[in-house]
Structure 1
């Protein structure tokens, strides 16, 4: 099986400042003034074109399709992704897709827009989504919640983990926006990481996923299975950002046969090309 994993797309959409308030206004101005140039339209077009030509069995998108979870941003993201939205696609939300309270309920914009590709709910009170693609089970979690101040903290409730482990009886791929592990040189601040990830990793050891796919931190890596987290952790963020000295950006294809092979694609000279993956041992970072 070939799993193509992209994340943190942050598709650009010009918005009226009069349609924004509070945190959304500050976040949008930050995007327009500081981050927009890092996600050029030519790169986004090149990514869509490259993926359209690649062979894969499942396409996983691990969140942050928008910037401030504005309704027009969701419409824009769906339009851009339309060539890739098939029964092979599985999408979960990122913190920017939950940026405002109106993006969460009672009629969440993310679910309203991408409901066809988020899988089936395994619990009416918890965000646990499942989808079988090509004989492989994918489980999606939502580690995001709307916070009034400008932070990006994540959290997965213990009952979400417990319920998942109790329901899943076959090998599975777990998809969630926030990392469970970071390289030593990419340690996140407390305002950016999953607050209880140590507890989550400890719980997962009783029935670990085959892979954990995430985004959030805008640089690529593959953490190989280790003693504390006995599963691979793959970060494909950001797939639509220009790389620089601090960010190695792109996306992965994970080929699962008798062994696991990782392929990485990066944007270079107006197109995506294949390059070497970035591997870490668990001891080279922290949970």
Structure 2
């Protein structure tokens, strides 16, 4: 099976400051001044065109389609992704898609825009969704917290982990936004990481996923199975960002089989080309 994984798309959308509230004002100014040029429109178009040309069985998008979860950003993201949104697609929200509490509420904006590709909900009280694509079971989490402070912490409730490991005895692919492991060179700050990820990893051990796909930290990597996390962890963030000295960006095409192969694509010279994946052993980082 071939799984194409993209994340942290942060599609640009010009917004009026008068339409923003609270921390969204600071977040938008930060994006507009510091990060907007890192996500050029030409790169985004090249990513969509490249995906259309590749052969894959499932397309996974692990969150952050927007920047400050403004209502118009969701429609913009949907319009950009339209050529590749099919029954092969499975996606979850990132912290920027839950940036404001008004993006959640009784009519959550992410769900309103992308319900068709989010799979089926298994819990009335928690975000836990599944979708079967080409015979493979995909499980989605929402690890994001909509809080007023300028932080990006994550959290997954114990009940969600317990229900996840009981869904099926067959191999499954788990999709979340926050990392469960970081290489030593990419340790997250206390205001950016999933606050209970050690407990989450321990809870998964009774029936671990075949793969955990995530984003959030804008540097690509593949963490191979180890003793503490006996499953592969793949980070494809940010798929729409220009690489620089601190960020190795792009996306992955994962070929599952008796031997799993990891193909990585990066933007260079106005197009996406295949390059070597960045592989880590578990001992080269921390949960």
Structure 2 length as normaliser, TM-score? Answer: 0.99
- Between the aligned partners of 1:198 and 1:93, the Cα distance in structure 2 is 22
Following TM superposition, by how much is the alpha carbon of 1:167 offset from its aligned partner in structure 2, in angstroms?
A: 2.2
Q: Trace 1:63-82 onto structure 2 (pairs within 5 A).
A: 63-82=63-82
Q: Which residue of 1 aligns with 2:146?
A: 146
**TM-superposition CA deviations, 1:148-199 (whole Å, max 9, x none):** 0100000000010001112222110000000000000000001000000000
Mean Cα deviation higher: 58-67 or 17-26? 17-26
**Aligned partners of 1:171, 1:106: CA distance in 2, in Å?**
34
Match of 2:133 in 1: 133
Residues 1-287 of structure 1: matches in 2 within 5 Å? 1-287=1-287
Q: Which 10-residue stretch deviates more, 79-88 or 159-168? A: 159-168
Provide structure 1 residue ranges, at least 5 long, that are not aligned to the other structure. none
**C-alpha offsets along residues 15-66 of structure 1, whole Å, 9 cap, x if unaligned?**
0110012100110000000010100001000000000000000000000000
CA distance in structure 2 between the partners assigned to 1:18 and 1:122 by the alignment? 38
Shifted more, 164-173 versus 154-163: the winner is 164-173
The alpha carbon displacement at 1:13 in A equals: 0.2
Q: Secondary structure at the match of 2:59?
A: strand
Once the two structures are superposed, residues 219-244 of structure 1 have per-residue CA deviations (whole angstroms, 9 ceiling, x without a partner) of 00000000000000000000000000
- Aligned-residue Cα RMSD (Å) equals 0.5
Post-superposition, which runs of at least 4 consecutive aligned residues in structure 1 deviate over 3 A? Answer: none
TM-score, with length taken from structure 1? 0.99
Gapped runs of 5+ residues in structure 2?
A: none
Matched residues in 1 for 2:163 and 2:55: separation?
Answer: 34
Deviations 1:102-128 (A, max 9, x none): 111110000000000000001111110
